Amino acid sequence: MNILLVYPEFPDTFWSFKHALKFVMKKSSSPPLGLLTVAAMLPATWEKRLVDMNVSKLKPADLAWADMVFVSAMAVQRDSVLDILPKIKAAGKIIVAGGPLFTAEPEAYPDVDHLVLNEAEIPLPLFLSDLGRGKPQPIYATDEFADLTKTPVPLWELIDLRYYDSLSLQFTRGCPFNCDFCNVTALLGHKMRLKTTKQLITELDKIYDLGWRRGIFIVDDNFIGNKRVLKEEVLPAMIDWRKGKKGCLFTTEASVNLSDDNELVEMMVKAGFSQVFIGIETPDDVALAECSKSQNRNRDLVSSVQKLQQMGLQVMGGFIVGFDSDDETIFQRMIDFIQKTGIVTAMVGLLQAPNGTQLYQRMLREGRIRTDFSGDNVDGETNMIPMMEISKLKAGYRKILDSIYSANGFYERVRTFLKNYRPQRQSVSLQPSEIGALFKSIFEIGFKSKERKEYWRLFFWTLFHCPKKFPLAITFTIYGYHFRKVNELHVA
């Protein structure tokens, strides 16, 4: 049987990095890890192809080849899904769909023949069994959570690694916390489930053996959810794995309480972690209490961020405005917080209520759900009716973005970060695309853009004050270029 796996296109968003990727001659920030893992669960005798629509088009020849088409997507990919499903159906192909989008709204896709919902490790074998008997059902779902020790190594062979800026792997699922707006626990639960350390090292070995030397994103929603296992098993194994190797620095997601554990931070940095995304959400403690973000309360968030930076981790931050308790002072307070911390990659969005979350249920009870959840954190929209007058909320949101993404605000923040950041020495592998990115940044930003004055100011400031951080400074100028493009094009 010929199986075509299709990953729909992402729109131009904060996290797409589409405007930055052209500097390093890449087409997508990362590959479809879920589909690559699903492919490894299918019978080995089946022929498989993968079309990632973020790097190539879905062609009639692809559909003509296939007997069955598997589609997986997140909410932000909804428009692309709605575009391609009728085309696949018109080609007379059987459609099997799964992933967060279809799990959240299964009734919205009548073109799909078979829905495999929730985590694939449990319902997919049931579908395959019924398919083998000639009696596949329309829907396969489960309330159970998968045993990750049985999850196979993704079939990286199905993609062309040259198109991607980073690769990804997953070690855990679930999160112990209870943020009311987050759909992670609705989909994956509160209990941390882990792969074995051996599985993790096997996946790293495969990636490295394929010749990969760029970044690796460990996509866990909270990598530090089980600190004991990390300290006793995982990080020592990763430290040992890195010996004699170049490149492959790690990025992951964690809760801010990482800053409370010096030993854990030191081990992560030694293991090759250079970046961590943290959901900070808001500097307002009342709003943190409102959304049950207990892990962020009763602490100096600025100091927590700066401590991680000083210990060698770049902190990327997620922020939200539009909580019921927010007043009009929150906008300037948010700007001041982001600038003071020096968080260069600061994603600020309006509060949304994803399906299945506690917030969604509360908004539903209060009659405050107005549209579908878009999945785009920074599109300037919300699917709920906020307490603040919507025009004031959007105006304040615009004020934040215009300030933190402005050339002056952004480059000032980069300097703040570079002054505070104490990177650990890592063995890296400089690639031609990164050298090319420097010259492209000089041409596109240093000469053509409106922020060229700030670009050259940072360029020479870094060379004179912290020359070892110069490559990072150039990377940030490219990030800023992308953020401003997204801000200009997509936030009304």
Supply the pLDDT for residue 375. 81
pLDDT at residue 67, rounded to an integer = 98
| pLDDT score of 427 | 55
Instruction: Report the pLDDT value the prediction gives residue 430, as an integer from 0 to 100.
Output: 57
pTM of the model: 0.94
CA–CA gap between residue 1 and residue 220 (Å, rounded)? 33
* Per-residue model confidence (pLDDT) at position 171: 98
Phi, psi for 391 (deg, rounded to 5): -65, -35
C-alpha 469/C-alpha 488 separation (Å) is 29
The tens digit of pLDDT for each residue in 143-169 reads 999 999 999 999 999 999 999 999 999
pLDDT digits (tens, 9 = 90+) for 371-420: 888 888 778 889 999 999 999 999 999 999 999 999 999 999 999 999 99
Residues whose CB falls within 8 Å of the CB of residue 51, separated by 6 or more in sequence, listed in order: 4, 5, 6, 7, 57, 58, 59, 62
The pLDDT of residue 428 is: 55
pLDDT the model gives residue 426: 62
Tell me the C-alpha distance between 428 and 418, whole Å.
19
β-bridge mates for residue 250, sequence order: 216, 273
Q: What is the pLDDT along the chain (492 residues), one digit of tens a residue?
A: 999 999 999 998 888 899 999 999 999 999 999 999 999 999 999 999 999 999 999 999 999 999 999 999 999 999 999 999 999 999 999 999 999 999 999 999 999 999 999 999 999 999 999 999 999 999 999 999 999 999 999 999 999 999 999 999 999 999 999 999 998 988 899 999 999 999 999 999 999 999 999 999 999 999 999 999 999 999 999 999 999 998 899 999 999 999 999 999 999 999 999 999 999 999 999 999 999 999 999 999 999 999 999 999 999 999 999 999 999 999 999 999 999 999 999 999 999 999 989 999 999 999 999 988 888 877 888 999 999 999 999 999 999 999 999 999 999 999 999 999 999 876 555 567 788 999 999 999 999 999 999 999 999 999 999 999 999 999 999 999 999 998 887 655
- pLDDT at residue 13, as a whole number: 87
Contacts of 390 (CB under 8 A, 6+ apart): none
Residue 337 pLDDT: 98
Q: What is the pLDDT of residue 370?
A: 93
